[in-house]
Structures are given as structure tokens and as C-alpha cells.
């Protein structure tokens, strides 16, 4: 699946799924630009790949505008930047709520809005959402609300741009085998007294396949959505969940 001649921007590209997306699109022949807040992490991913990196905060409107100015016109924009937090609703602070909405939903809005103005013709917008955007989970109310918002954004924007040669889609994985999930495992262990291995099993058990999903599975879905074969796929939510959703 060649993407030779295409420029791809991946937000949150310094680790986890974002880093794997960068590797996958470089391998497919694309020019890749990754963005994020941590310069060291961005360099570590980008330099071995021959990719470019841009420091950016997707929750900041001016920063997002600078990100696209530095990246140059892109053909594929993947809104992957995100964060997770976990606590029961009664103990969720307004600051926690605002933080989850900002990075997981507002960040997608700002990224996609800026992307629309720089496409040179056809374009692909891909949001890395979550199964939490399609169903409820206990103790992650702000995160799930944000991801549900991303799914609504994708479905609505897809209709706006359907006649412009632009597609807008979401990838909704279950728990991925990434540092973000390692943090969730740590939180579960601390709050329940379980070992890290036992806490990891709790998350694996949410999958009908009894496993965490690999970042490479997200990359494979994104490569498909970015390809000409997916020209008619618009407003879709591709789930990587083993049948959970």
C-alpha cells in the first residue's frame, strides 16, 4: 500500500500508537511529520525514520496553527494525541474534566479545523478515538465523554466534506499495549492492591480475545483509511476490539 508523494501529519507522535503510525507511514513511502509536546521523545522517534518533527500542543489554537505552518500542506492528518485518567465520578474534579476534554476532544477539533484549510485537493482526516467513544466504562467518565464527542465530530464533519474529496474517519481501539495503558495498569494496582500483572489482566479481560491490542493494528487501519481503496469510507468508526463493540 504505497503512499509515495503524500505528506502525513501525526499528532502525539512521540510514543505509543503515534510512534508506530510514523513508522508505518514512512515504510509506505510517505513523508511524515510528527508533533507533540516533548522534544526529546519526538527526536527519538523521528530521526531514525528520516521524518520531521514539530513541537506543538493540540489544546492551544495558536500552537496548532504554527504546527501546520511548519509541517507544510498535508494530505493525511491523523489526530492521535490524547491522554487518559481514571477516577469515580464523585471524586472527579473540574480540572480533571477540563483536561480530558481539552486534549482528547478540543485537540481533535483544532487539528481538523486547521487541516481543512490547508488541503491541496483530496484529503484524509483520521481520529484515533477509542471503544470508550462507542460504549461506557466505569471510572473514566471525562475520557469516555471526550471520545464520544470525537465520534460525533467525525460523523458530522464527514457529511460536511463528503463532496470535496475529503474523508473523515475514526479508529476505535480497545486497550492498546502502550505506555498509556501501562499508566492505567499502575493506577489500578495502586487503587486495588493488585500486582501489576493482576491489574493488567483486568484490562485484558475486557477484550473477548483476552488481550491488549497492538499499535501496529491501529497503523494498519490508518494505512487503509489513507489509501485510495478507502475513498468511499467516510464517517466510519473502525473498531479494533476483538468483538467487544
Residue 196 inside a domain? The answer is no
Q: What share of the chain is helix, strand, coil (3-state, %, to 5)?
A: 50, 15, 35
Count: domains in the chain: 1
Contact 59, 102 (CB under 8 A): yes
Task: Give the C-alpha separation, 59 to 100, whole Å.
Answer: 10
Residue 207 inside a domain? The answer is no
State residue 64's pLDDT score: 98
Q: Any idea which residues carry the catalytic annotation?
A: 143
Residue 203 inside a domain? The answer is no
State residue 1's pLDDT score: 62
Q: Which three cell numbers, joined as nine digits, stand for 177?
A: 499495549
Residue 89 inside a domain? The answer is yes
pLDDT in tens, 122-132: 999 999 999 99
User: Mean pLDDT across the stretch 180-196?
Assistant: 89
Domain residues for the domain of 87 are 7-174+214-237
Residue 206 inside a domain? The answer is no
Contact 134, 239 (CB under 8 A): yes
Residue 114 inside a domain? The answer is yes
Q: In this structure, what are the phi and psi dihedrals at residue 35, rounded to the nearest 5 degrees?
A: -135, 160
Task: Give the C-alpha separation, 5 to 234, whole Å.
Answer: 22
State residue 191's pLDDT score: 85
Is pLDDT of 2 > 90? no
Q: For residue 26, what is the domain's CATH number?
A: 3.40.50.720
Tell me the residue ranges of DSSP E strands in 129-232: 166-173
Amino acid at each position: 500500500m504505497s503512499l509515495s508523494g503524500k505528506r502525513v501529519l501525526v499528532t502525539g507522535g512521540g510514543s505509543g500508537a503515534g510512534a508506530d503510525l510514523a513508522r508505518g507511514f514512512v515504510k509506505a513511502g510517505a513523508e511524515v511529520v510528527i508533533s507533540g509536546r516533548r522534544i526529546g521523545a519526538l527526536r527519538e522517534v523521528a530521526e531514525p525514520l528520516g521524518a520531521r518533527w514539530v513541537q506543538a500542543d493540540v489544546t492551544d489554537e495558536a500552537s496548532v496553527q504554527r504546527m501546520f505552518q511548519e509541517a507544510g500542506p498535508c494530505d493525511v492528518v491523523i489526530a492521535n494525541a490524547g491522554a487518559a485518567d481514571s477516577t469515580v465520578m464523585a471524586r472527579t474534579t473540574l480540572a480533571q474534566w477540563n483536561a480530558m476534554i481539552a486534549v482528547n476532544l478540543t485537540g481533535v477539533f483544532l487539528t481538523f479545523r486547521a487541516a481543512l484549510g490547508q488541503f491541496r485537493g483530496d484529503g484524509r482526516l483520521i481520529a484515533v478515538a477509542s471503544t470508550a467513544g462507542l460504549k461506557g466504562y466505569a471510572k473514566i467518565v471525562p475520557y469516555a465523554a471526550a471520545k464520544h464527542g470525537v465520534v460525533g465530530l467525525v460523523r458530522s464533519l464527514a457529511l460536511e466534506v463528503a463532496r470535496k474529496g475529503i474523508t473523515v474517519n475514526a479508529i476505535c481501539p480497545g486497550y492498546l499495549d502502550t505506555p498509556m495503558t501501562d499508566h492505567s495498569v499502575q493506577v489500578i494496582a495502586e487503587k486495588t492492591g493488585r500486582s501489576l500483572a493482576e491489574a493488567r489482566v483486568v484490562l485484558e479481560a475486557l477484550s473477548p480475545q483476552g488481550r491488549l491490542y497492538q499499535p501496529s493494528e491501529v497503523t494498519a487501519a490508518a494505512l487503509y483509511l489513507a489509501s485510495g481503496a478507502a475513498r468511499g469510507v467516510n464517517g466510519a468508526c473502525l473498531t479494533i476490539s476483538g468483538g467487544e463493540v
